[in-house]
Amino acid sequence: MYITIARVHENLFSGQAVSITAPGADGELTILSTHEPLVVPLTKGIITVRTAEHGEVYECEGGVLEVSNNQVTVLL
């Protein structure tokens, strides 16, 4: 699946990944390939993106995560 993580005027991550784990308003959630469409508010915590080669970690102070057509967009 393709993941984009961005802040205003800054792209933090864009690329293919195996999974993304994020702090949702109702608890931590992990998104895998072919996940159903979803829009969820994010709270303070850590976002982890796992690619085939490694994992990357980003701080989250809040935002929105959207899943659609095997693409995940995170706006912080």
Which pLDDT does position 32 carry in this prediction? 98
Which pLDDT does position 55 carry in this prediction? 96
CATH of the domain at 68: 2.60.15.10
Q: What are the φ and ψ backbone dihedral angles of 68, each rounded to 5 degrees?
A: -160, 130
Q: Provide the number of structural domains found in the chain.
A: 1
pTM for this predicted structure = 0.94
Place of tokens 């109702």: 26
The 10s digit of each residue's pLDDT in 16-51 is 999 999 999 999 999 999 999 999 999 999 999 999
Question: Whole domain around residue 21: which residue ranges?
Answer: 2-75
Which pLDDT does position 25 carry in this prediction? 93
Secondary structure class of 37 (helix, strand, coil): coil
Give yes or no for a contact between 43 and 59, defined as CB atoms under 8 angstroms apart.
no
The Cα 8–Cα 29 span in angstroms is: 23
Long-range (24+ apart) CB contacts under 8 A made by 40-45 are 40/64, 40/65, 42/74, 42/76
